[in-house]
Amino acid sequence: MKRNKNYLTGYLLTTLVLILLTACSTHSPKINNVKSDKYRLIWNDNPISTMTIAWNQYEGNPTVHYGLTEQTKQKTFPDRTTKYRGMHNNFARLQDLEANAKYYFKICTEKFCSKTMYFKTAPSDDKAFTFIAGGDSRSIPRGRIRGNVLVSKIRPLFIAHGGDYTKDGTTEEWNRWLNEWQQTISEDGRMYPLVLTHGNHENRDAHMLNKLFDVPNKDVYSKMDFNFLSLYTLNTELEPSVGYYDMVSKEKWNKYKRWDKQTKWLKETLETDTKPWKILSYHRPLRPHKKSKAEGRLRYLDWSPLFYKHGVQLAIECDSHLVKYTHPLKPDLFGEEGFVIDKEKGTTFIGEGSWGAPTRANDDEKSWTLDSGKFWQFKLIIASKDNLKIRTVKFGDEETEYNSNGVEALTQKEQDTNPRAIPENLDLWNSKVGKVLTLEN
């Protein structure tokens, strides 16, 4: 009798579980059942009115649902897909967005939707904003992830990545990198657009960033217009004799053509640029602060006079895996390595990329170096019409532990109230000028 009772109870419980499972599968939407992943946002066009959403689609015909509310009432479809590095990369180019607005989005197929995320467009007025500039995220994932988690806490308007995302740009490396990029998403679902620079570790395929991020100019140089600021991205790998792999093989046939075309574009674009702030991002420094790194012969000769003549205030460099600020500099062939300090009209150079790449000794300071160091870091810049406030955010190194999760995240409400707000307990580099380097306009 007791045995029969146990049997009956077991039978009833099993039936109940089966009924519940069936009910869930037929009536509830299968949210978060993985049919797409590796989400990323990219600014390839006007940051005030556009956004490119990219992801990896496993199966089904995806639709992007988006809009100004969580109901995401607008729909669009991928504008382009690429099969590349083991992924089916989908790109939806959203247009005609409102300025300084929150847009919610999710990727759905007939039965499945991703979680709902959101992004912000750039302001069309003089409202201040923060952005992160860093690069060289290759090789050591535990360092790279520390930086990614910090992005989620800081809530930058965008991230200017200076190149060398992975070591060799292989399928395995890019899949891992894009999975780890998901850790930049804030707790409330906010995601942040990348502005991409091509580094030498992308040289195995000259069009790597076009295929993975839909960067429209396959030579990866462009200008992005914010309301009071121009952000230029340049490609140092087009410089004859400095690249390798795919870039070198192409240069053999047309040695200076692509480099000269970029310089001509830079000159002509700067000549008509009337924005109060002109900032550049590119991979290899003109004058690396690492002895073993070759000097940028043509970068210096072709670019530095243009920077000075047209009032570029800030150049963000990467590649050496160390840290530096310079004084504002003017090109002068009698100065040390071709530069002298010019506090009125000079260009300040900051860098040099260490978002998880092996740190290197800062063994090549010049008389015009303001300060340098060796640790994992990126730059956090508060941009306003009157000034740029530059901070270097540290996240340890190979030997120094650092817990990014210990940083108290900025809330969206705090940022909406004060666009200059940053988290309070970041580990900031205390350089010779203190924790903030200010450039005044």
Binding residues (CB under 5 A) for Fe ion: these are 164, 199-200, 319
Q: Nearest Cα to 148, choosing from 375, 373, 317, 376? A: 376
Q: How far is the CB of 374 from Fe ion (least distance, A)?
A: 16
Q: How far is the CB of 180 from Fe ion (least distance, A)?
A: 19
Q: Are 181 and 38 in contact (CB under 8 A)?
A: yes
What span, in angstroms and rounded, lies between the C-alpha atoms of 71 and 74? 9
Task: Compute φ and ψ for 173, nearest 5 degrees.
Answer: -65, -45
The Cα angle at residue 253 between residues 251 and 257, in degrees rounded to 5: 65
Number of helices (H), then strands (E), belonging to the chain: the values are 9, 25
35 or 290: CB nearest Fe ion:
290
- Read off the DSSP letter of residue 370: E
- Please identify, using beta-carbon distances, which residue of 51 and 322 lies nearer to Fe ion: 322
Give min distance, CB of 357 to Fe ion, in A.
8
If the CB atoms of residues 195 and 410 are measured against Fe ion, the closer one turns out to be: 195
Cβ distance to Fe ion smaller for residue 120 or 283: 283
Please give the Cα distance from 113 to 30 (Å, whole number): 7
Round to whole Å and give the CA distance between 346 and 340. Answer: 9
User: What is d(CA 421, CA 419) in angstroms, rounded to the nearest whole number?
Assistant: 6
Position closest to Fe ion via CB: 319
Shortest CB 255 distance to Fe ion, Å = 21
The least CB distance from residue 423 to Fe ion, in Å, is: 29
Q: Identify which of residues 200 and 222 has a Cβ nearer to Fe ion in the complex.
A: 200
What single-letter DSSP state applies at residue 228?
S
Q: Are 357 and 139 in contact (CB under 8 A)?
A: yes
Smaller CB separation from Fe ion, 228 or 378 = 378
Least distance (Å) between residue 79 CB and Fe ion = 31
